[in-house]
Chain A
């Protein structure tokens, strides 16, 4: 089947969406942008194709009476076990890379011991951790290999180093040196093998409760469908770095406009707060951009500003919103100037203000900037859609809702759980139209 792909290369994450020729979204994938846009594009695309394959499997399973009512569970099991396969595959790559990196005068004479320790660490990661990480009800903090492998490597590495009389520093050094290489190498594209072995594990997990023989045919049918990538459109800050001809590139403003339209056909105003900039976009009833405004060169009020604040407070970006939600007192923050963010924060803290109250004030200040950009683009008309990374931040959303109400009255505000894919979605639709409607 012909597939259309949109890739949104953001400054922090890269997203991909795979669509069929009817405009149905088949799959979504995301990865860190890192420094290498090429790889990020490839990885996110591969992830989206994996997700697309799962959609196809779901379609087939839905037709199979024997598994009725259990499809979600099966898909969940398949996903989990597929990830496990992927994890093990990448561990293998990481191990080889680590071992190959044991060289140089610093390690002279100790090579054997280090390699031995590494082998033991990876054995345990593979045999003990993989099962735990991907057990049916395991909570994973992240889906990125670096995060999954990293935290466990540290812990096991320390134990193994101690037991084997090897310096933990050496192991750490190998890991640091190798992880970037591995990360920048897209996992092998041999999906079907991984899906099949995932399927076997699902059968094992579910055998008592299900006629697992019924799984085989639909999954095989889905795996046999050939997905070919017909047309790709790139967008986002990294778009010019993609190896795309010019006609395969669309600005993120157009992609966000169209993406938001596909999610909510009645939306007329779109606010996108990304890592680099904030955009107010007006679209018509076809999703065509009729006007837009964005922040000037100043980063005030963009996602980056929240990043500075998080650094300054020694917190993770995702902790800011929840803490701000605890605020009980409203504090007015006057500047969203990134240059002064640190100083203003320190001043406020020195004055005895609480962190949560300061954070609530900061979120409001950012939303005030966003409101000004929106109003310059023509204001808010029903319906209004909020996209971009900051849409996940509940404190920001809370302030936005209040400001929209104060300024524009009752307006429907849409925030899609998949809003991070809005740009990629619009791009994939552009890709589809380039072929289907050309």
Chain B
């Protein structure tokens, strides 16, 4: 699971900065042949960016590549290529987009070919598709693979045992493998420095996400949210760039609150805030703008979402801790949203519903993501029961354009918003 920004949507200076950061990272990635830098492929949830930086390696995230291809309307063809090559229709479309991309020369958004990874760092937080995915990549690249096993929070708790187990792996397998592939000796003080940057940026990120408690909310915590979390969840956490970026965003949002403004949308400031929603599940990327428009046209703003927590539940108090560098990395991986069990997910959504004073819960169920989608209907019922607020269910896909039906989604959303209206006016309407 992953997050990336939506180009050309928001033109604030933070956006310009983020765009530059992303472009810079792709240039760095595609320039490793000349620079001699080493590349590690890894996943977004529970990624160890600070650790990777300690070995001067570049971080390549196949999920974000798939998202980039999805937003640039390239993923459909890639997915079909992968299906022609024998990958099943129902499998995670990030995987197929990634595999299809390789078949088409593995071209990065800057038009240059992606380098082959020197190492695969497999941390499978919550999603078992990750394992199969990297099995396929290992088969292709024949590079060393190190596996970081993250125990699933089956009981909803992180125990000392689980933490120790992750730390042990970091010490005995992950770090040695990094040293071997990169030729750089591990320096724990360097890691502490990066972790300090992370924590600083995390404070501001949380501030930004929580600004949605205002009325009107100055941000959209789902569509806009993927933009705010971008640097934190991808290749930038731990960098000074990320720290500066979040400073900038925070300033911009403070300004919006002062002016009593709603969120920025691709068509300018959102006018009236009519519905406040909590959204569960990843967005659709191939029709991102259209999808978003279905919301802001109706005056619906997302005040909290679980998707923006796939790369860390910072708003629930976690911060990277420079004083306990390896332990904190373990906590981070163990605590990602995708690694939480169903009761925890329900708990979190309920909390959001209350704390953000939402009118309802919307679930976007992703056709090809079994990890996220399992149990979602159950979660929905439970939230309805606990909060008495209406919930709705829509179905799309991540990056497979064949699974986005505009008319269908629109129909459901409109019905849902009207349902919320009806609930609100409740008794007065109900005298038939």
Residues in A lying within 8 Å of B, measured CB to CB: 23, 237, 250-254, 258, 261-262, 277, 286-297, 376, 378, 429, 433, 437
* In contact, A289 and B408 (Cβ under 8 angstroms): no
Residue of B384, B418, B432 touching A291 (CB-CB under 8 A): B384
Residue of B377, B391, B429 touching A437 (CB-CB under 8 A): B429
* Cβ–Cβ < 8 Å partners of A288 in chain B: 419, 422-423, 426, 429-430
25 A-B contacts, Cβ less than 8 Å apart? Answer: A251-B415, A251-B418, A252-B411, A253-B411, A253-B415, A254-B419, A261-B432, A277-B408, A286-B431, A286-B432, A287-B430, A288-B423, A288-B426, A288-B429, A289-B415, A291-B390, A292-B419, A294-B408, A296-B367, A296-B405, A296-B408, A297-B403, A297-B405, A378-B381, A433-B429
* Cβ–Cβ < 8 Å partners of A261 in chain B: 432
* Cβ–Cβ < 8 Å partners of A297 in chain B: 403-405, 408
* Cβ–Cβ < 8 Å partners of A286 in chain B: 429-432
Residue of B381, B390, B411, B429 touching A251 (CB-CB under 8 A): B411
CB-CB nearest in chain B for A296: B395
Chain B 400-432, CB-CB to A under 8 Å as 1, else 0, gives 000111011001101100110011001011111
Complex formed: what's the CA distance from A253 to B395 in Å? 17
Q: How far is the CB of B90 from chain A (nearest CB, A)?
A: 13
Chain B 363-400, CB-CB to A under 8 Å as 1, else 0, gives 00001000000000100010010000011110100000
* In contact, A293 and B393 (Cβ under 8 angstroms): yes
* Cβ–Cβ < 8 Å partners of A252 in chain B: 411, 415
* Cβ–Cβ < 8 Å partners of A291 in chain B: 384, 390-391
CB-CB nearest in chain A for B427: A286
Residues in B lying within 8 Å of A, measured CB to CB: 367, 377, 381, 384, 390-393, 395, 403-405, 407-408, 411-412, 414-415, 418-419, 422-423, 426, 428-432
Counting chain A CB atoms within 10 Å of each CB, the highest count among B391, B405, B411, B428 belongs to B411
* In contact, A294 and B430 (Cβ under 8 angstroms): no
CB-CB nearest in chain A for B405: A297
* Cβ–Cβ < 8 Å partners of A258 in chain B: 432
- 6 nearest interchain CB pairs? A297-B405, A286-B430, A251-B415, A253-B415, A296-B395, A251-B414
CB-CB nearest in chain B for A432: B432
* Cβ–Cβ < 8 Å partners of B423 in chain A: 288
* Cβ–Cβ < 8 Å partners of B381 in chain A: 378
* Cβ–Cβ < 8 Å partners of B412 in chain A: 253, 292, 294
Complex formed: what's the CA distance from A137 to B411 in Å? 44
Complex formed: what's the CA distance from A217 to B324 in Å? 96
Extra 11 A-B pairs, beta carbons < 8 Å, given A251-B418, A254-B415, A294-B408:
A253-B412, A253-B415, A253-B419, A261-B432, A286-B429, A286-B432, A287-B432, A296-B403, A297-B403, A297-B404, A378-B381
CB-CB nearest in chain A for B413: A251
Given contacts A258-B432, A277-B408, contact A250 B418 (CB under 8 A): yes
* In contact, A292 and B432 (Cβ under 8 angstroms): no
* In contact, A376 and B377 (Cβ under 8 angstroms): yes
CB-CB nearest in chain B for A377: B393
Q: How far is the CB of A235 from chain B (nearest CB, A)?
A: 10
Complex formed: what's the CA distance from A295 to B381 in Å? 19
Q: How far is the CB of B280 from chain A (nearest CB, A)?
A: 15
Complex formed: what's the CA distance from A252 to B422 in Å? 14
Complex formed: what's the CA distance from A38 to B422 in Å? 28
Given contacts A254-B415, A254-B419, A258-B432, contact A290 B393 (CB under 8 A): no
Complex formed: what's the CA distance from A107 to B68 in Å? 61
* Cβ–Cβ < 8 Å partners of A289 in chain B: 415, 419, 422
* Cβ–Cβ < 8 Å partners of A250 in chain B: 418
